[in-house]
Structure 1
Amino acid sequence: MIDYRMSYLIAMPAGVGYSIQEINEKTGLTTEVVIDQLGKINEFLQENSYQPMIWQKDRVYFSDQLTELWLEIQFGKHEWDICYSEQERQALLYLLTFLEKEDLSVFHYQDFFQVSKNTILSDIKKLRDALSEDCITLDYSRKLGFHLAGQENQLRLKAHEMITKIIGTQAGKWGLKKALLTQSKTVEADVRFHLFETIKKYDWSIVPSRIEETVYFLAYILYRHSKQSVLIDEESKKWLSQLTVFQGSQDFLAQFPTVEYSSDEAFYCSLIFMTIIQGEVRETALEFLLECASQIIHEMERLAAIEFKAYRKLLLDLFYHLVPAFFRIKYHFSLSNVLIEEIKEQYGEIFALTKRALHPLEVLTGEKIPDEEIGYFTILFGGEIGNQRELNRVIRYKALVLCPSGISSSLIMQSELKELFPTIDFSLTTTVDQLENISETEYDVIFSSVPLTIPKNVYLVKPIMSQLEKNNLMRCVQEDLLIPGIVVPSVDEIIETLLPYVELKKGVTKEKIYRILNRKMIKKLKVKEDEKPMLSELLTEEMIQLTDEKMNWEEAITYAAAPLLKQEKITDHYIEAMIQKVKDYGAFIHIGKGIALPHARPEDGVKQLGMSLLKVSEPIELLDDPKHEITIFICLAAIDNEMHLKALASLTKILSNKDNLEKLLAATDQQTIMALLKEGELL
């Protein structure tokens, strides 16, 4: 791995001998690291029959060829091995044009990507069509060549979106670096170095997974030629100037004296930094987001009918995540979330509830919250719900959980591991730097989402695992640590056990059997896990009542809970507890649109999971308050924090669908209500 600071080497004139000390001073690296890095560079040059660097009289000599080969040295492969996808080409084509280094032509694009003229013309046409949706045009004139036209803020947001799309691929990163090298040999190193220095100086807590995209975005903005003035509204300027990040942005920009930028650039730079900085509770200007975090938690508790025990910890964790999310959403910075489809599939019910619970953030930003953002909040809440399981266990091993993708992914990873290994005590760490400061005596093993080279056992895991991946992980850990438990045999083990006793038909191979069995296991394991009942399975016809009787809100809750009591799913005490909770905490059970969700804690008298529904002909005022008129009471008897979530997720979808909600409120019989509940499950 070549350290980015070695890029300063290619900015030094070739053919001149340099001492190790001179290279130390130029790169800021220690003698030991410089010698190691020079060795790696020379090794690559020699292995590929290039002219190596020469050591003569304690000085290092290198040729001009080093600059031409720099990307190959960094990546350890040749440029002809790099093949850009259509998406990568179009994103890089936009970014090359965004830099405006020279009069760009089709030939320039061809030369950059090493593809045919027809391929470039096709890419240009498709890119133009895509850009038109954002009021951006890719124009051409003989005088200017290819150039972008549009409002500067929008041009930058599109550049940011393009970077996030390709930053995770090798070809994408190669192209990003190659384009910057046309501007300056050290632009990336300069931006990266001064960004790290600013982070260190101001002690910012950064989400590690967002560093790369930020480095490149800043580099492309700073070295974009003839850029227009960026527009920042006065209200944003006013409160951005109250944050310490504004001073940090000014310090950062001051390190680039040769780069021209407008007076508003420090404010824009502050916005960029705020999209990756975890919240700081000491910033009084961000107190409104702490209040928003509190509202979101209470919404989630209300909608999911749960109570978070470690409220303060959750509040801080949510605040840390909420701050950058607020800035991304409000100012339209894109966010990549490669896990979003897995999150929706494995945590569908929590996703639906989280989406509705984030309403305070939607109001605050005035923007619809993208699914990618909702996904990260979902795994944060999912991790906390998982952590609340009561586990009576004897601690035998200590493990660290390392997930640099951010606090949300870390929490869900920790929660899943706790469920798999109840006899292991897990501690959370979110950066490799934190790991380096922890004594090896404090842990036995590490579960990490990134590869590590350390003497202890390291298990490489995804933040969200499939059932088959969980099963394979359990086997490895139990074999290594001798943890008692029942483990399902692997597909390989099953096949190897059976093969000596069976004769394969013609055309049937071991690999074919493996694929079939693998698919079957995944399907079976998924079915086994999905035991949470649906809304229509809980609210059956006998659990639904309609009445035109006049009653107060306490009588309505008692009436609504009667089917649960009759089927012995609850005790009389549970009804009293539901009523008392409203008296103690207010109309929190009103989940909107005239629907109330009375509930209490499982230990207050729940025997079995259940729900019952009462629809009254005339609205009843909850706590005799006209602001809380209730038409439908849905009593919930939950046995834990999770088994009822699928049913409530379906309920939130019904509440979010205006047509279905109106039909539900207008329903006059049990059959209509049942049909609407089932329809809501399909939304």
Structure 2
Amino acid sequence: MKDETLDMLAEIVRSPGIGLGSLQKKLVLDTGKSETILKKINVLLEEHGYPPIVRKNKRLWVSLDLEELEQLEHSVETEQLYALSRKTRLILMTLIIFTQKYTSLNVLANQLHVSKNTIVNDLALIKEQLVKEDIQVGYSRKTGYYFLGKEIAIRIMLIRQLHLLIDGKAQEKLLVTYTTIELTEIYQEKEKLLKLERLLHTQFSNRQLKLLCLLIPLLRVRCLNYQEISTGEYRAIIQIIAASDYQRITQAMAGANLCNEASKKEKAFLVIQLLSANVIKSRGEKMPQLGEVIDAVIERFERRSVIFFEDRKRLKQMLYQHLGPAIYRIKYGIPYEDHDIEPIIKEYQAVFPMAKQALRPLENYYQIQFTEIETVYVGLIFQSFLTKGYLMEQQQRVRAIVVCENGVSVSNLLYQTLGQCFPMIDFVCNISAREFYENPLVYEDIEVVFSTIYLRTTKKIFVVSPLLTQEDRQRLIRMVNKELYNREQGISVEDILNLVKKEVRLPDEEKLRSRLNEYFNLPKKQEQLVLDSKFHRLLPEERIKVSKRQFSFNEAIQCVAEPLLKSRFIEQAFVDKIIEKYDERFPYFVIAPGVAIPHAGFNDGVNELGFSLLKLDYPVRFSNKLSAKVLLMIAPVDNYLHQTAVQAFYNCMLKEEYRQELFGLQTATEIKQFFLKNIQ
């Protein structure tokens, strides 16, 4: 039985009444495949004494709670130790070759309980996969199969395999069953790593802790087989590590009795692993220069995306905790823990190009280039600060905490997302599972826990995905409303509107409906929110102006603001703030040659989201070196709703041929047609 059977069962247990279509979409399954898996689940439930899945109106229920699910998974894991999927078998074969002195065809076939032909086919696939990592699988009569290549490359390949192993089930049991590693070794390394955390005033993510607990014993076996890193590789590591970091980590390792027997070369390799490790929390800045560069990254993001971060200090702390390890990962090519993030990338796609642009100062300073996956996780940190949940005033508010076992980028995004989904709940803090178990009295008055893993607790618990898609949020909102507030369908905006209309006359019912849907984050109206933020809706033809006059900077700002002032989208204070705050030494309004986006903050006199545009024949001066012929003024109502439209405008203006065409247009109608043609 494959892991997908347990994965589907877990989704049904965690989301009672989940629709079959939603389940297929979430697990990327077609109808035939999902029906096959559902049959397997019923067989599994029957074998272990549980009732089958109940179907009603294409929705699914199962009479299993979270604790019973955990027990069932444990039983299945034990049964599967000797019935391996090919993916798991390939991982274990790699680990066996990595750690054992002699690995012939017979040895591999016997250990993995498959035929020699199966091993031959598996080896062919492993060889094919390793070509891109510049590693070969060699063979000799004396040692059997072995890896041929640079030792560092072989170890990084091993780390990738361990990440895949952690994604599956019973990783510790598999390692103990199919290698010479003992379970006690893994537990001993965990105790040492927990002590190391305390000495370093940090906390690794749960996944990172698991990885290190498995990696360290494997490396020890590797060294006993005389496969240490070379002197040249050691020197390359030392050049990467800052002297202060090396001293700090090695002192903590000595204090935790971690790898004291290892050579200085092996300790250096482990230092790199610890410096690049994903953390949940870390106290104190160890890289002062990084803090300065992060300031530049934040400023660049603000200018590029036309926003102002209110909680800038906390954002800087989050970025610092994530970027410190990321720099070492990128420099040394160490793989980052991965998630099924494709749905999240699609949902927040507007933020990632802005994150990529913002990271340029950091890339230049450290002479690195952020990979796509590393950029995505930085983008998620920025995303978590773009919108704020608003608290509903009520006398008795449910108090909740969020328990997340992932890194700082994912855990902070989850915390902010849940706050936006449930404005009626008072989210107190975001912690790890270890903190939850170690401090029960601190959270005694907490009523509800939202957690990425199952926890043993008497409190009401909702197990959630670390990365919530829009569909996940919709399902969770229904579940929480039903279980906490006894509401089957959640909050009805139409009922609220009908009550309000009985008491007062509504000047703009559609606008209030939109704001209420935004506030309560209701699923059916989410598409309308996105549509309302599109460029063409925000810049109608009547707010486009063309002028042949010569303007000063102040005059141009006042002129482009007139359509927004006239329609009461902004107050004069907004215009005054732009003029007052603008410093031509830092001409960040100019986003492309001849194009500028003047703006202020959403608290500086904005009544409604909207754009206005001024096209000039004579460019207006923004600094000694920069001027603009096109000014797009943005009136933002928050840090989020205008992002898609700004990104579309920016992408258009990056193309020189588009800019030149726009500069030559002479009427508002021509300009509107230009944007309709060139901006989707």
Q: Is the pair's TM-score, using the shorter chain for normalization, greater than 0.5? A: yes
1:248 to 244, 247, 252: 252
The count of residues paired between Structure 1 and Structure 2 equals 569
- Mean CA deviation greater in 547-556 or 423-432: 547-556
In the alignment, which residue of structure 2 is the partner of 1:639?
Answer: 637
In the alignment, which residue of structure 2 is the partner of 1:30?
Answer: none
Q: Distance in 1 between matches of 2:311 and 2:327?
A: 23
* 1:378–1:173 CA distance, 2 compared to 1 (3 A): farther
Sequence identity, in percent? 23
SS state at 1:102 partner: coil
Asked if 1:598 corresponds to 2:593, the answer is no
Q: Distance in 1 between matches of 2:199 and 2:429?
A: 25
Aligned runs of 1:109-128 on 2, under 5 Å? 109-128=108-127
2:477 to 474, 478, 481: 474
In the alignment, which residue of structure 2 is the partner of 1:533?
Answer: 533
Is contact 1:243–1:283 with CA below 8 Å preserved after alignment?
no
1:451 Cα offset (Å): 0.9
1:276 Cα offset (Å): 2.1
* 1:421–1:74 CA distance, 2 compared to 1 (3 A): closer
In the alignment, which residue of structure 1 is the partner of 2:143?
Answer: 144
Aligned runs of 1:146-225 on 2, under 5 Å? 146-170=145-169, 174-179=173-178, 181-182=179-180, 186-224=184-222, 225=225
1:598 Cα offset (Å): 1.0
Q: Distance in 2 between matches of 1:604 and 1:665?
A: 33
- State the AA in 1 paired with 2:462: Y
1:85 Cα offset (Å): 3.6
Aligned runs of 1:62-461 on 2, under 5 Å? 77-78=77-78, 82-99=82-99, 101-170=100-169, 174-179=173-178, 181-182=179-180, 186-224=184-222, 225-227=225-227, 228-229=229-230, 230-233=233-236, 234-241=238-245, 243-250=247-254, 255=259, 257=261, 261=263, 263-276=264-277, 278=279, 280=282, 282-284=284-286, 286-387=287-388, 389=390, 394=395, 396-436=397-437, 437-439=439-441, 440-461=443-464
Q: Distance in 1 between matches of 2:298 and 2:396?
A: 31
* 1:483–1:662 CA distance, 2 compared to 1 (3 A): farther
SS state at 1:561 partner: helix
* 1:591–1:211 CA distance, 2 compared to 1 (3 A): farther
SS state at 1:146 partner: strand
Is contact 1:136–1:155 with CA below 8 Å preserved after alignment?
yes
* 1:130–1:652 CA distance, 2 compared to 1 (3 A): farther
- Mean CA deviation greater in 672-681 or 332-341: 672-681
SS state at 1:335 partner: coil
* 1:533–1:174 CA distance, 2 compared to 1 (3 A): same
- State the AA in 2 paired with 1:119: T
Asked if 1:664 corresponds to 2:664, the answer is no
Q: Distance in 2 between matches of 1:465 and 1:197?
A: 33
Q: Distance in 2 between matches of 1:673 and 1:149?
A: 62
In the alignment, which residue of structure 2 is the partner of 1:462?
Answer: 465
Q: Distance in 2 between matches of 1:384 and 1:122?
A: 49
Is contact 1:653–1:680 with CA below 8 Å preserved after alignment?
no
TM-score when normalising by structure 1: 0.73
Q: Distance in 2 between matches of 1:128 and 1:676?
A: 53
Is contact 2:355–2:375 with CA below 8 Å preserved after alignment?
yes
In the alignment, which residue of structure 2 is the partner of 1:610?
Answer: 610
- State the AA in 2 paired with 1:132: V
- State the AA in 1 paired with 2:192: H
* 1:251–1:97 CA distance, 2 compared to 1 (3 A): farther
Per-residue CA shift, 1:395-417, capped at 9, x if unaligned?
52211121121333332222222
Q: Distance in 1 between matches of 2:220 and 2:676?
A: 55
Aligned runs of 1:563-582 on 2, under 5 Å? 563-565=563-565, 567-582=567-582
1:299 Cα offset (Å): 2.1
- Gaps of at least 5 residues in structure 1 are 1-47, 49-72, 490-521
Per-residue CA shift, 1:97-150, capped at 9, x if unaligned?
222x22222223322332333332222222222222222111223333221122
* 1:188–1:463 CA distance, 2 compared to 1 (3 A): closer
Per-residue CA shift, 1:20-58, capped at 9, x if unaligned?
xxxxxxxxxxxxxxxxxxxxxxxxxxxx9xxxxxxxxxx
Q: Distance in 1 between matches of 2:271 and 2:620?
A: 50
1:647 Cα offset (Å): 1.3
Is contact 1:160–1:217 with CA below 8 Å preserved after alignment?
yes
SS state at 2:634 partner: strand
Q: Distance in 2 between matches of 1:305 and 1:157?
A: 40
- Gaps of at least 5 residues in structure 2 are 1-47, 49-72, 493-521
Is contact 1:289–1:319 with CA below 8 Å preserved after alignment?
yes
TM-score when normalising by structure 2: 0.74
1:281 Cα offset (Å): 5.7
Q: Distance in 2 between matches of 1:242 and 1:603?
A: 45
SS state at 1:459 partner: strand
In the alignment, which residue of structure 2 is the partner of 1:52?
Answer: none
Is contact 1:664–1:673 with CA below 8 Å preserved after alignment?
no
SS state at 1:147 partner: strand
Q: Distance in 1 between matches of 2:476 and 2:112?
A: 41
Asked if 1:555 corresponds to 2:577, the answer is no
- Mean CA deviation greater in 433-442 or 474-483: 474-483
1:273 Cα offset (Å): 0.7
Per-residue CA shift, 1:522-566, capped at 9, x if unaligned?
995663563442234434555555667544433333344344345
- State the AA in 2 paired with 1:369: F
Per-residue CA shift, 1:588-612, capped at 9, x if unaligned?
3344655432111234333332223
Q: Distance in 1 between matches of 2:413 and 2:242?
A: 37
* 1:559–1:110 CA distance, 2 compared to 1 (3 A): farther
- State the AA in 2 paired with 1:313: R
Is contact 2:558–2:575 with CA below 8 Å preserved after alignment?
yes
- State the AA in 2 paired with 1:305: V
1:644 Cα offset (Å): 0.6
- State the AA in 2 paired with 1:161: R
Is contact 2:102–2:143 with CA below 8 Å preserved after alignment?
yes
* 1:662–1:112 CA distance, 2 compared to 1 (3 A): farther
SS state at 1:386 partner: coil
Is contact 2:193–2:258 with CA below 8 Å preserved after alignment?
no
- Mean CA deviation greater in 475-484 or 291-300: 475-484
Is contact 1:82–1:171 with CA below 8 Å preserved after alignment?
no
1:92 Cα offset (Å): 3.0
- State the AA in 2 paired with 1:350: V
Larger Cα Rg: Structure 1 or Structure 2? 1
Q: Distance in 2 between matches of 1:564 and 1:129?
A: 61
- Mean CA deviation greater in 149-158 or 85-94: 85-94
SS state at 1:399 partner: strand
1:583 Cα offset (Å): 4.0
Is contact 1:240–1:267 with CA below 8 Å preserved after alignment?
no
